[in-house]
Structures are given as C-alpha cells and as structure tokens.
Chain A
Amino acid sequence: MVEVTNAIRFILNDEEVTLTDVRPDATLLDWLRLERRLRGSKEGCAEGDCGACTVLVGRLMDDEIIYDSVTSCIRFVGSLHGTHVVTIEHLRGKDGNLHPVQQAMVDHHGSQCGFCTPGFVMSLYGLWMRDPDPSQAAIEKALQGNLCRCTGYAPIIRAGKAISSYGRPEGDPLRAERIALKQKIRAINDDRRVELGAGADRIIVPGSLDDFAAVYEANPTATIVNGSTDVGLWVTKFMRSIGPVIFINHLEELKRIAETDSEVRFHAGVSYSEALPVIAARFPDMAELWHRIAGEQIRNMGTIGGNIANGSPIGDTPPPFIALGARLSLRKGAQRREIALEDYFLAYGKQDRQPGEFVESVTIPLLPDGEKFAVYKISKRREEDISALCGAFRALVRDDGTVGMVRIAFGGMAATPKRAKAVEAALVGKPWTQATIDAAIAAFAEDYQPISDMRASADYRLLTAQNLLLRFFLDSTGQGQRLRREVA
C-alpha cells in the first residue's frame, strides 16, 4: 500500500511552501501574481508562446538539480511538488545589486517597454548557468520562446553575449547553495503519493510509475498531466474543467531513455530537451526538426509521450517516428501491450487507447545502414511555430538502383499523422530517379486531401508535400540544397 500525504510542497525562491488547498487547474503564474503578489512575471498570452511569464523550475534528476526555463502560465501548481521555483524576484542580490544578467540587459538597452523583459532575463539566466559563453545561435535558441515587440531583439542578443563579462555562474546563489537546496528537495521527494481535494478538485501526484498505473486504472476519467503544454491550454484558453488530475511530470522512471544497438526507447515523460542529445547522436537526421519544435520553455516541459498520446494531427514527432517504424507501448495497471505507432491514430481526436490505459514508452528502431532518411518541417515562421505540414521520408535503394522499401508519413495533411501509401506504392520497385519521382507525385492527391486553414492553403500543402519528395530525392543523391541561417 502506497503511503499518502496531503500537501504539495516545493521551494519558492528561498522559501519553503506547503499547500494543502490547491485546485487542479491553478496555474503557477496566477498563483504567483494573485496569491503571492509576486508580479514580476507577466501574462502575455496564457498559452506558453510569448515567454513573458518565464520562471526557472529546478527538479531532481539522477540526484542533481536541473533548472529548466518554463512558462508559468501553463504550468500547474499541482505539478510543482518537490521542485525549486525561481522567479525574477529572486535575481537581485541580497545587497540589492542587479544580477549580471540584469546589468547586461540594462547596459545594452535590452528593454524598451519592459513587459517581456523579466521573461527574457529568466531565459538568459537559465542559459548563462549552463552555457556562460554562448554562441549567438545558442542565445537565439534559448530565446525562441520569448517574444519581444519593441527592440527587434538585437540589443538582447548583444546583452546575452556580454553577461559573463559581468559575472560567472560559479558565484551565483543557485550554484553556491546547491547542496543545501538539494537536501531540501530530496527531503520532499520521498516516494509518497500526494493527494489533495476530492471529486473534480482532486489532485493525485503518484509516488512511482507503478503507483501511477494503479491509480489511473482505478480513476480512468482523470486527466493525465505530464508537461501541460497541451492541457494547460484546455484550462487557460478553453476554461475546461480537467479534474481529477494525475500529475506525472516528476516520475523519473518515465524519463528513462533505453538505448540498444538497434533501437531507442523513450519513456513517455522524456521532454524534448532531455531527448535532444540522444536524438542528435542516434537520429542525426532528426536533430534539425528537434530545434524547430516550439520554443525552449516548451521543449523543457513538453514530452514525447504527450506529443503522441493526445493524437494531434500536427504533432511533430509522429511523422518521423512512423517512418522509422516506431512501436508504442501502452500500459493499463500491470498489463502492457505494444502496437505500431501508426496504428495508434484512428481518426481525428480518436486513438487506440483504452480507459485507464496510458502511453508508457515509444521505441524507435535506428535507421538501418544504407537506408536514407529525412524529415522536413514547413511552417509560416521558421522557429516556434506549428507545422503547416511535416513530412518524413525513409527509403532503401537497392544496389540495382531500384527502391526496395519506402515509408513516407506526414503531419498536417490529414486528420491524423498518416502514411502516404499510394506514393509509396508508386515508388517501390522503381528506379530511384527523378523520372520516378515526377511520376509518383500525382499519388499525393490520393493519399491526402488537406484542408485550408490559417497556417496554409490546401494547395500549398499538397504542392509542398510533393516538392518535399523531390527534396528527399535530391538530398539522397547529393544534389540537395538547403536553406541555412548562418550565425556566429
């Protein structure tokens, strides 16, 4: 029997917080601003897209505290158990002096209206702690989730480059006081389940993965909240009731990545940021896509499991995973089953998931030697945008120059992530030549009848999908040309 406590406990800046009365849909930003009257973090969009509410959340991982920048507008208070929340109010020294990040921003004229500024400072703070001498590319990446409407970003980038000339992270309180902080956090993370409230106000923070499986099986109508990058918007945008809620983002077992010679298994709680090193090493053709999924804060929060589980037709991980032949592991209580990822998506908003069953992991076979693979994301804005379409291509060209195997999958082209089986049929067995490509592209219209919406027209989607096949051919035959943004 699992032990149960009845308080959400975490550290806010340098204060220990114990909450016994929290609604499951209470957001960190509202709690900071309305309950604690800490009003340095701002609400710009309440959907995790502008970064004005950015704070750092430190959590224990392999007995180290990892500080991630997150958007507090869509982070739930109930998900903070056992963490260290650091807000803009914590940055000025006890002597009142500006922090190096702050001083660099002031001296480089990095603020105009100032409303987005606390969020930028927090994102830069997070970057400086792990990379005190960042390249411009690293700064831009760290700021992908922060919008500024006044400065044109140039002075903020200049400030980002200069921070370390004002001070090094070694002297920062979050480093200097790490041991004491770790002890405090470790004491909270004691494997007991946390339960608050009742009925629709019930919050469950399971003590372990097995505890989660059991509690979800017993409460199949509960909402599972992992990174909250999707569920957060159900609350802030649509005012949906989400209780009872099971928060699982703290479960280290769900953050495991298991690698073998032939495949990689990501557990469902692995965030995009956590997956990146493994993606870059084992699936290098996917690395560029990874940098173009959302902004830094959302990559820190959002999970691979969530991207799949909610069945969005425009999630960015299913197309390449399907093309690589990924398998999904679903679990209900102690029962597990494995299905092909592509079979999980039944129809718009409908997935092959039973009540009480959850996505536990996804296993991606490595690309076999000699096969060609590419994934292309197309969006109106290059970064931090939702795909208009996202296409993944995988092919084996035999020694005789013919196509032995081909798998093509797209997001944004249908009501679910979907294979292009007619196109595949038009390619397989044919010589891998431009003529074959030219002949095959007509089959896209059989596979997909995309919609027109605010991201792109149906015509553009179809035409671009066809052109991406040509791109795959050109890339695979060494004739490809790709747009590159060249920064220092």
Chain B
Amino acid sequence: MNKHETPIAIASLHTPTRHDSGPKHVSGTAEYIDDMIEPEGTVHAYLALSTRAHAEIVAVDIEAVKAAPGVIGVLTSEDIPGENDVSPSHKHDEPVFAEGKVQFWGQPLFAVVAETRDQARRAAHLAKIEYRDLPHALDVRAAQAAGGAMVTEPLKLERGDVAAGLAGAKHRVKGSIAIGGQDHFYLEGQIAMAVPGEDEDVTVFASTQHPSEVQLMVAAVLGIRHHAVTVNVRRMGGGFGGKETQGNLFAAVAALAAKKWNRACKIRPDRDDDMTATGKRHDFVVDYEVGYDDAGKIQAVDAVYGARAGFSSDLSGPVTDRALFHADNAYWYPAVRVRSEPLYTNTVSNTAFRGFGGPQGMMAAERWVEDIAYALGKDPLDIRKANFYGPETDNVTPYHQVVEDNIIHRVVDELEASADYQARRAAIVKYNAGSDVLKKGIALTPVKFGISFTATWYNQAGALVHVYKDGSIHLSHGGTEMGQGLHIKVAQVLADAFGVGLDIVKIMATSTGKVPNTSATAASSGSDLNGMAAWDAARQIKERLVRHAAKLHQVSEAAVEWVQGGIQAGPKFVPFAELVASAYLNRVQLSAAGFYETPKIHWDRATGRGHPFYYFAYGASVSEVTIDTLTGEYTVDRVDILHDVGRSLNPAVDIGQVEGGFVQGMGWLTTEELVWDDKGQLRTKAPSTYKIPLASDVPPVFNVKLAEWSVNKEPTIGRSKAVGEPPLMLAMSVVEALSMAVASVADYAIAPRLDTPVTPERVLMGVERMKREARG
C-alpha cells in the first residue's frame, strides 16, 4: 500500500499537472448532481415523450398518470408562467412541452412530478395520447425531396469564379458522401436539480456547458428576471457539446416544479430517453463537383452541405456554418462555392458536438481528395500535399481570411517521416497483392481547425479572483469543467501568476452569481478565454500588491519583483501570505474581476467575408488497418499522431484530449451508427445497440505526440492553442485507410466512396461493389 497520496506538485504553466479532481474521481467522492444530498422533501420529475414522428395531438388522457402511486402532479404547457420555449437561437421553435402537435418521436409532452424518481418514471408511461399522423421526413434526402424546408437561414461562401474554374479544369468529378451523426454518450446523462428560494428566486444545479443560458432559459420559462436565477455547475460527467443547449429543457422543468410546489426538484431521464429526446451530431449529405488538373491540383469546388437539423433550429445554423468554414480542411481552392442546407426533419433537433460541423466539412474535403487520387492513380497523400495552403501565397480561405500561421507542411512532413509512412505503404501494397482474404490500408490525413466562436460576441470571458487574508486564493471563472481539464489549466495560470503552489488555489464551482453573462464552454475556447480572464484578474491584484509592497518597503514599484512564493521588494523577500496579510491591514482590495475579449476577429455572415478565427490549430495522423473481405470486419492496427497545441499549458491534459478526441472520432467514423426506423423511432438508444469504442478498439500501437516546437503566433495564454475539438478529426485517417484496403480489391483503380460510419457492413458492401465494378 502506498504511504501517501502525493500532493499536487507546485504548479507552473507548461507542466503535466494531474487533474485537480483525480483523487476524488478514483474514490467516487467527486460529486455529480445525482450524488448531491437532496434537500428534504425533494420531488422528482420525469418527462413523457411522444411516440410519433409528426402528428397532431388529438387527445391527452392523464388520469392514470395522476392516480399513480406517489404522483404529486403533472406539468404541461399550461403550467408555464413565462414562455413555453427553450430555443437557444431565440426563434421560438423549441417548446418545453409540445402544444397541439409533435414534431419528432421522443418530443416531451408533459412532466410527471412524484415523490420518487421511480414513481415519476413509471407514471409518465401511463398517459393515453391520441394522435392524428402527419407526413414526416426523417433524413436529408427525404427532406430535400419534400421541398427542402430549412430551420434557419443557410449560408453561402464563395470566392473566385467557380463556373469558369470547373469549365476550365481538365478533369471533373461529381459525387456525394453521406456522413453519419453521433450521439454524445456522455457517461453522466442530462440532469438538473432546482431549489426554490424566497420571492422569485431559484437556484439550479445543472449539468450544463452553458450556465448563463440555462439561467436565461429558466428565467424566460418562469417569466422572471435573470437576477432571480442562479445556476451552479461543479462538474459534468462529460459534455462534448451535448450539454451546450440540451440541458436547458431539463433545468427549466426542474425549476417549474420547484416553484410550483415550493420543493426542490430533480430530473434525470434514463439513458434511452436521454438518447431519444436530446440532439446529436448532425448527419450530412454533401453533394459536390470538383475540377482538377493532371497533377491533382484542385481548380474549383462547388458543393452543397445538406444537414439533418431536426425539428428546430437549435444550433444548426452555426453548426452548418462551421461545416462550410471547414470545407477546405487544409486545402487551397482557387475557386469555391459552398452552400449549407440546415434541413427541417421530423427527428430530434441536432446540436453541438465536438467539432461543431467542422468534422463533416472536412470529411467531404477528404472525399474529393480521395476521388482525385484514385482517378489519377496516385497516393492520396500526394494529392493532399499538392493542395495544401501555401505559406505566403494560395492562402485565402473560402471566407476570405488569410491563413497566417500555416504549419501543416512541417506537421505532415515530420509525421510522414516518424511514422515511416512511405515504406509502410509500399509494404502494404505488396502484402495486399499476396493476400486474398485480408487486405490492409494506410492513410495520412491533415487537420486544420479554426479557433474562435463564429458568433463573435461569444469570444469574451470573465473571472473572479479573491485572495483571502491567509493568502489562500479562490478562483471562479466562466468556464465549466466536463473532464477536459479546464479548471486545472486556469488554476495553473493563476498559481503561475501569483507564484504560489496549486494547493493555494481553490477552484470553485462555476456560478452565474460569480461571473455573469458567460459564453458556453465550447468551441475549444475554454482555456483561451477563461485563462486570459483569470490572468487579467491576477494582474489587477498583483498591481495593487506591488504598489502596496513598494510603499511598505520604501522601494520603487519597479524594484518589486514577483518570485516563486512571494515578492522580492528590493533586498527583502516577502512571502505571499505575509504580503497579503499586510495588504489587508493597509486596506488594499484583494479581489478582482478579470475580463478578456479575443482581439482581431470579425465576421460578416451576409457577405460571407471576415476573419472569424483568431488562429488555427493543426495536426495530422497516420492510420493502418486490416480488413476481412469475407465479413467486412476490421482492426485498426497502428496510429501515429502529431498534433499542434502551441505551447502546451499542460501536456498531460493535452495528450489526454488528443488520445480521447481521436478515439471518439474513430467511434464516430466506424462503429457508432444511429438507426431510426421508418416510423421515426431511434433504435440505437443505449449502449447495447449504440457502440462507442472500447479499450480493445484502441490501436495496439498508438503513438501520440505534441508538436513541441509549436508556439502560437498570437499572444494567447502562455502561447498555447485550443485542444478540445481539433484532435477528433485526426480519426479521418481511419476512414481513408479502410478505403485503401477496400480499393485494393480492385487494384486501387476505383474510389470506394464509403459513407460513414464505416461499419463492417459498409466495408463488406464496398468490397462487393469493388468486385462487381472490377468485373465490369
């Protein structure tokens, strides 16, 4: 047995510090909302969900619900004092409870409130609902066929003369790719607990990435001001974008019940209901036409990005926008026109998910690169390299931002060498020639990902730092912790700024009462924004302390220096705690609110022009796979990754994000298949049917490295780069490697054009298609 639990090491930036909650995670003492000791008299709410994809509600009989054991009451749209809406786009298209009609299978109809969760859950299934069915469109093609109604305004990005580019290109290819959606499968499902207070007050504990929006939604639904609602988030058991907006409804229902019955109320759907009733990654169908020359250089791209938005707008506008922003991945298009179609469908409203449309945009780009490579009989890597943005020229994106920090060439070159790509590819081609049943594939794909919210006003953050008389520090910032290590990074920033140990800094739960008007912890922006805000708060306190120290020790302010553990005021070293104690006695303010706004960015959606991204994060991966041509089963045998996080704030956390992001992306592109039946019911709604990767799916050889030489050109916190989302897209190389293995069946002469997720079934059907087409 080990002697001591090692204390967290003295912090400084750029060190592999362990997650602040690690010891609690492993002990089961890290508190999630369902673990909190409930206030006495807490009631439990449970949602009743529709069982039609699109229908008028003819009659609702809830007598049996009300009569069920333990039931206290039922909440319907009539119990809402404010607005029956939780639409994050403010289009008023997302009711808390359906009124008059339902628009997807799983839409909340009402909530049962009972003494126990089990009672509420059982009662919720006792309602008799009579429907009159309406026609439904479930997916992109059906929605397009039904007229292509959209939930929000589409976007067009255009640069150069696309018609001339296509007409003048020696080769042209037309095609389409279907890219599947993805359930977040956060291990902790949606949950909220509301505690009523005096007057209109309510305190909500929510598993949300966006406490300020939960505050707004609860206030709107209750018809009260924001200042009456306090939202607290200690931690989430995973978010991945699934708790950016999808927690709003649960929080609103808990708050409604809490105020109506003046009792605390908790709401937690079971896994099936969570997966049925909350949004997912958008699936896309991208139709494209691309012109290119003999060298494989792209001349023009014209593409339409149809996305299954679901029944409401939610974040589908910004998600489909970001798909277009990443239609280029790392490639220069001399002429380009890309258009989005956020399509209305009778399915759950799709939402944010790590990458936020970017991954789908990039998959499409890799698809036409692959088309070109197979048409020209070249290694797709050669086509990729031929089309990379140039460092000085050929560096304007479809949205007219100049790529100023391009390092993709160095990233790819280093990885190509370290992974021994060329020799392995040659060996694989040889292996395939001599192997009937098993075939191998290898691919190297690049990632370039734009960092900043495209909603420019979101790029702001606040922090609140208190230094107490004993020298201990209390840190609040606007970001939320969902496992990504944001809190430890911001704490490192603060400890570094004050020159103290990490144990001096206490990380507080995120609260709208501490830092107001926060942005969602999303778009990979958490440490960029909140780290800088915390640093700004520290700066203010430090300036006051320096003034105080200079006065006290009668030296100039310039002679006061921050050192580890305190300050050096001329010849005198003053420990931090001593400094703080004397500052207090001399009436120096020891608290500060910090603030940060990302510089340089602007975006005009109407013209499709601007500088929406502060900078880009880069990366590349090589994947090697083996497929079984009799069954379509496959193994991912080896993966090598080189990823750019600028100057890492915490290499341990960042490596964790890269490894985890890759595996999550691999799941999205391989085994995670969402299946709706023809009635619109999701059939893959639990881990028994929806298959995320396992430990045994991780590549047996998995070499993950950070590009240690990379330094952000922009003055971000510690010159680091955002890391949350970009690594997910490293998994594209798995698809491309599978594609190569399938193509080997027809001697690499035909592009396999596999849709994603590339399940064993898709591999086998791809193999069969190769055989058929090779026979002619």
Contact = CB atoms under 8 A, between A and B. Distances in A.
B27 interface: yes
A175 to B, nearest CB: 12
B691 A109 contact: no
Given A44-B188, A154-B659, A483 B759 contact: no
A37 interface: yes
A380 B189 CA distance: 24
A365 interface: no
Interface in B226-246: 235-240
Nearest to A142: B695
Q: How large is the interface on B (under 10, 10 to 19, 20 to 34, 35 or more residues)?
A: 35 or more
A153 B698 contact: yes
A329 interface: no
Interface stretch (B303-311, B390-398, B430-438, B537-545): B430-438
B238 A115 contact: yes
A106 B34 contact: no
Contacts of B29: 40
A283 B715 CA distance: 65
A54 to B, nearest CB: 11
Contacts of B630: 464, 467-468, 470-471
Given A111-B21, A115-B237, A382 B696 contact: yes
A453 interface: yes
B175 interface: no
A115 B686 contact: no
Given A109-B652, A480-B437, A140 B626 contact: no
A103 B27 CA distance: 10
Given A105-B22, A106-B22, A239-B121, A384 B694 contact: yes
Interface string B607-649: 0000000000000000000111011111101000000000000
Interface string A96-127: 11111111011101111111111001000000
Contacts of B438: 481, 483
B761 A114 contact: no
Contacts of B485: 112
A171 interface: yes
Interface stretch (B2-10, B95-103, B145-153, B510-518): B2-10
Given A106-B22, A384-B694, A50 B1 contact: no
Contacts of B435: 481
B662 A152 contact: yes
Interface stretch (A85-93, A199-207, A425-433): A85-93
Q: Specify which of B27, B235, B700 lies most central, judged by the most chain A CB atoms within 10 Å of its CB.
A: B27
A148 interface: yes
Contacts of A41: 28
B547 interface: no
A42 B673 contact: no
Interface string A21-54: 0000000001001000101111111110110100
A463 to B, nearest CB: 7
Given A37-B37, A46-B271, A103-B2, A152 B698 contact: yes
A140 B4 CA distance: 29
Given A118-B26, A468-B631, A487-B700, 11 more contacts: A40-B28, A45-B686, A49-B688, A114-B24, A115-B237, A117-B25, A146-B695, A153-B663, A167-B2, A382-B696, A471-B437
A454 interface: yes
B692 interface: yes
14 contacts: A37-B37, A100-B1, A105-B22, A105-B25, A111-B19, A112-B19, A114-B19, A143-B695, A149-B185, A239-B121, A380-B691, A384-B694, A467-B630, A485-B635
B2 A98 contact: yes
B694 A144 contact: yes
Interface in A42-81: 42-47, 49-50, 52
B633 A463 contact: no
Contact of B684 (A40, A117, A153, A454): A454
B661 A152 contact: yes
Contact of A147 (B188, B635, B694): B694
Contacts of B239: 113
A157 B664 CA distance: 16
A114 B23 contact: no
B27 A40 contact: yes
B369 to A, nearest CB: 26
B652 A467 contact: no
Nearest to B683: A454
Given A45-B687, A463-B764, A114 B436 contact: no
Contacts of B653: 109
Interface of B: 1-6, 16, 18-19, 21-30, 32, 34-35, 37, 118, 121-122, 125, 184-189, 235-240, 270-272, 435-438, 482-485, 626-628, 630-635, 637, 652-653, 655-656, 659-664, 671, 673, 675, 683-684, 686-689, 691-698, 700, 702, 704, 759-761, 764-765, 768
Nearest to B21: A114
Given A39-B28, A112-B19, A481-B436, A153 B695 contact: yes
A75 B694 CA distance: 23
Contact of A454 (B16, B121, B673, B687): B673
Nearest to B3: A97
Contacts of B695: 139-140, 143-144, 146, 148, 153, 156-157
Contacts of A147: 185, 187, 687, 692, 694
Contact of B238 (A113, A118, A376): A113
A456 B656 contact: no
A455 B653 CA distance: 35
Given A44-B271, A149-B238, A152-B662, A116 B187 contact: yes
B689 A454 contact: yes
Interface of A: 30, 33, 37, 39-47, 49-50, 52, 87-89, 91-93, 96-103, 105-107, 109-118, 121, 136, 139-141, 143-144, 146-157, 166-167, 171, 236-237, 239, 376, 378, 380-386, 388, 453-457, 459-460, 463-464, 467-468, 470-471, 474, 480-488
Nearest to A389: B631
Contacts of B186: 113, 115, 149
A363 B662 CA distance: 46
Contact of A109 (B1, B18, B238, B662): B18
Contacts of B22: 105-106, 109, 111, 114
Contacts of B28: 39-41, 87-89, 117-118
Contacts of B34: 33, 39, 42-43
A111 B25 contact: yes
A156 B485 CA distance: 16
Contact of A105 (B26, B37, B694, B704): B26
A143 B28 CA distance: 18
B760 A98 contact: no
A467 B23 CA distance: 50
A474 B765 CA distance: 21
Contact of A239 (B2, B18, B125, B696): B125
A153 B587 CA distance: 51
A172 to B, nearest CB: 8
Q: Specify which of B4, B26, B482, B673 lies most central, judged by the most chain A CB atoms within 10 Å of its CB.
A: B26
Contacts of A171: 1
A380 B23 contact: no
Given A111-B21, A118-B28, A464 B632 contact: yes
Contact of B673 (A98, A380, A483): A380
Given A155-B656, A384-B694, A121 B187 contact: no
Nearest to B122: A239
Contact of A153 (B238, B635, B683, B694): B694
A98 B656 contact: no
Nearest to B483: A113
Nearest to A291: B696
Nearest to A480: B437
B626 A42 contact: no
Given A103-B5, A153-B694, A380-B760, A483 B237 contact: no
B272 A237 contact: yes
B187 A149 contact: yes
